Amino acid sequence: MLIHPGATDSRVYRHLLPLLAERGYRAIAPDLPGHCRSYPAQWKPGTSIHDHAEFADAFVKTVLTGESPFVLGASVGGA
């Protein structure tokens, strides 16, 4: 799972995702709520590292059920 920097979105990984897939990895880059073009109605925009961590945790529990993902991030996404 790749987490993008603040004030960007998952498009920052558009070149890396295919490379990981070619090597057999299931690579997913969700958009953090409230960043760039992402603002799901059921979420308020994240304003802290804790908010982003809560989103990532919920994403893993609902989308990656039963998997143990590696998490890669840059800037805020790395924090």
State the pLDDT confidence band at 38, using cuts at 50, 70 and 90. Answer: low
**What is the Cα–Cα distance from 74 to 23, expressed in whole angstroms?**
21
Domain that holds residue 68: 2-77
Report the pLDDT value the prediction gives residue 44, as an integer from 0 to 100. Answer: 64
**What is the Cα–Cα distance from 28 to 13, expressed in whole angstroms?**
9
Distance of CA 12 to the CA centre of its chain: 11
State the pLDDT confidence band at 15, using cuts at 50, 70 and 90. Answer: very high
Residue 62 phi/psi, 5-degree rounding, is -100, -35
Q: What is the domain count for the chain? A: 1
Report the pLDDT value the prediction gives residue 28, as an integer from 0 to 100. Answer: 93
